[in-house]
Amino acid sequence: MNFELLLNNIQNAHQTTQQRAIQSVNIYLTVRNWLIGYYIVAFEQNGEDRAQYGTKLIIELAKQLNIKGLGETNIKQSRKFFLTYPQISQTASDLFNTKISQSGTDLSLSPNATQLFDSSDQEKEYYNIIVNKISFSHFVELLKIDDPTKRKFYELVILKTQPNVAELKHQIGTLSFERLGLSNNQDIAFQELERKIIPVQPSDAIKSIYFFDFLQLPNSHLIQESDLEESLINHLQQFIIEMGNGFCFEARQKRILIDDDYYFADLVFYHRILKCHIIVELKVDQFKHEHLSQLNTYVSYFREEVKQADDNPPIGILLCTEKGNKLVEYALSGMDEKLFVSKYLLQLPSKEVLQGFIENEIKKYQKQ
């Protein structure tokens, strides 16, 4: 054995065990969510005290469970997951070495799903494969597809090409299924599709909010940032706090759930004088309209979902930089009161101050 072989052996051992560890976590996460859905549907149809909860069952469950990653939306996803994929029952039974029984109940399933506990060995094997090969983050996207044939197509896309979640969403959004159906040669069209998709790397598999919630890990590790962006956000947080003027730090990489998708706001402050939230987004990039659109989405979310009755409308600040060009944009969404805007101009750091901060930080970074 020479040094190169030693090096290769260690690298292969690391990559193989890492991939299997990640796969194991994803399997247990998937089956856990399936079981949650199974238990909920069973209770809805046969629970002794089900009438006491009615339509508020999931809300009450989320409140009483108080488990990170099992909020109202997540529990609804689990219920839909079971109804859409009842065939996973055998895999769940095998994994926990126990028989999942209907206990005399007649669980009403989705019309798009086959009957529970009534599938061929070939079908059982297929669903065992998808539990082992498809992460729950991918399943979340599949659950948004009502047509079972279309959903099956994207299951096969995942199995054959292992796209990351963003790539899967792109393929669904660009109507790959529909375009393939219109193709004169579907085999060639699918091969072309395969060539365009970059397979997911083992480390990409853990870039999932579900994965981190399941393991009770801090979500900040999910955010993939450049060294410069990481440095800027670190110093910006402290810079704004040190400026005083009523800034109270609330969160970094604040998780926001909109339409079953997660987004992250870079920094969130509450201003005790202005009595409003301030959302800061930093992009190590040239200004693009989608950056401002994203920030306005966060501002709107805080206005509708977070703002209290006695709060003023939230404020958004967008910081962009590329090759020394700086841009500061303030999103004054919903601010119609002139008096408040005047007060806001007095209390917030000026655009010149923020621009100067960015320029100084970039100079420091370039000297490293």
Q: Are residues 181 and 242 in the same domain?
A: no
Residue 123: the pLDDT is: 82
| Mean pLDDT on 239-268 | 84
Instruction: Examine residue 52 and state whether it is found in any structural domain, yes or no.
Output: yes
Q: Are residues 199 and 265 in the same domain?
A: no
Instruction: Examine residue 358 and state whether it is found in any structural domain, yes or no.
Output: yes
Q: Are residues 209 and 233 in the same domain?
A: no
Percent of the chain's residues with pLDDT above 90: 20
Domain boundary among 213, 248, 267: 213
**Is there a contact between 318 and 333 (Cβ–Cβ < 8 Å)?**
no
Q: Are residues 181 and 254 in the same domain?
A: no
Q: Are residues 203 and 346 in the same domain?
A: no
Mean pLDDT for the chain?
80
Q: How far apart are CA 145 and CA 255, in angstroms?
A: 25
Domain boundary among 186, 213, 240: 213
Structural domain tally of the chain? Answer: 2
Query: Can you give the CATH number for the domain in which 298 is found?
Result: 3.40.1350
Higher pLDDT, 1 or 50: 50
Q: Are residues 90 and 146 in the same domain?
A: yes
pLDDT class for 184, splitting at 50, 70, 90? Answer: low
Q: Are residues 179 and 66 in the same domain?
A: yes
Instruction: Examine residue 218 and state whether it is found in any structural domain, yes or no.
Output: no
Domain that holds residue 101: 3-213
Domain boundary among 150, 178, 213: 213
Residues 111-146 pLDDT 10s: 444 444 445 778 888 999 999 989 999 999 999 999
Of 325, 357, 318, 352, nearest to 235 by C-alpha is: 357
Q: Which residues, including other chains, have CB under 8 Å from residue 328's CB and lie 6 or more apart? A: 317, 318, 319, 320, 351, 354, 355
* Residue 320 in this model has a pLDDT that exceeds 60: yes
Q: Are residues 19 and 165 in the same domain?
A: yes
